[in-house]
Each structure stands twice: as C-alpha cells, then as structure tokens.
Copies of this chain bind each other. A is one copy, B any other.
Amino acid sequence: MKFYDCETAPSPRRARIFMAEKGLDIPIQQVALRHDEQLTPAFQAINPWCTVPVLELDDGTRISEAIAVCSYLEAAYPEPPLMGVDAADKGIVMMWEHRFEQDGFFAAAEALRNRTPGLKGRAITGPANYPQIPELAERGSARLEHFFRRLDEALEGKEFVAGPRYTIADITALVSVDFAGWLKLTIPDDCAHARRWYEAVSARPSAKA
C-alpha cells in the first residue's frame, strides 16, 4: 500500500490519526500542495479530484476522500473499532462525523480558502478554479463559532463525541479545531466540556500524526 499525503494539510491528517490509532504503518508519499503538485497531470492521473489523502492498494486500486480511506481501513483492519461497534453505534458515529465535517472542517476550509492571498482563485479544492468570495470567509468564521458551541453541547456528560469510545468523530472534530486554529479561532473559555475533551484527545499519541 501507499498513502499519498501532505504532512501540513488537515484533510490527510484525519486519515493519519485513524491509521495511528489502528497501529498501521503504511508507506507515505508526500504531495507538495504548496507547489500545486496536486494539479499536475501526473497527480491528476492518481486522483482526478486533485486532493489528498489517497490510499493506493497493492492491486493499484486508489481510494480518495478521508472518510473513504477510513472506511476501507476499518473494514480491512477492524481493531480497534473507530466507526462503531454495532448497527446503532455505526449510525451514531457517522452522524457526528458528518455533522462536524460540515460544521467544523468545511467551515474552516471556507474561512481559510476565501481569505488567504495565496489561494486566490482556489476557493474550492479540485481541478476547476473558483474565485474567492469575501463574505464566505466571514461566514466560515461565524460557522466555526457555532461549531465550538455544538461540540461543547455534544460532549456534555460524554467522554467522547459519539459516546464512551474514541471514534472517527473525535478525529474529525479534533482536526477541525486545529484547522480553526490556523485562523486564530479557539474553543471559547466557557466551553468546559469541549476544552476537557480537546486536552484529552490532543494528548493521545495519534494526535501527533
């Protein structure tokens, strides 16, 4: 197997933390996003959506999208389970993962990609160019404030986002909080549940991935 990565990018970090929690050590190939390597014909042949992560299996099958890479790994390496242990739990984990991808991860991407001078014309990942929209940068920041509050509510009386076990929903939320940090937005002081959780998940060895 081979894992197409970019060590500074938040999206592949979701898969890297997932692999670290599974104890997997998969050979990594760096893709230089800051030099637009993802837009080259060579990389477009690997992933026409021009994104990392991409997991290449030994038979040449390539899987892109963080949630898809994790879905493969969960099925191929079930222990420890990170996407739920029974039907209801699988549904609950996916619910939180998807909510926080939208409220947190996509909001941070919206805020960042629509304001960073170096990303002019690159407001959305992928092969097509879309201009920055300044109101979207504002909106992304506003959405992140809501995300912190929702994360705090989700963690009231629970150790982890989806219940008693660490799951992919914690990974997506953690990476989203750190992504928001690029914009100097942090969990508010009065969000005690989210702050307690953030300290705990950040202290796991996998968080360094």
Interface, chain A (partner B; CB < 8 A): 48-49, 55, 57, 59, 61, 63-65, 67-69, 71-73, 75-76, 84, 86-88, 90-92, 94-95, 98-99, 124, 128, 130-131, 133, 135-136, 139, 142-143, 146, 150, 153
Per the bound structure, the CA–CA distance linking A133 and B87 in Å amounts to 39
The oligomer's copy count stands at: 2
Residue of B nearest to A64 (CB): B95
A71 in complex: contacting residue of B57, B91, B150, B153, CB < 8 Å: B91
Q: In the complex, A97→B158 CA distance in Å?
A: 30
Complex CA–CA separation, A8 to B107 (angstroms): 27
Whether A133 contacts B135 by the Cβ 8 Å rule is yes
A69 to B139, CA, bound (A): 28
Is A72's CB under 8 angstroms from B99's CB?
A: no
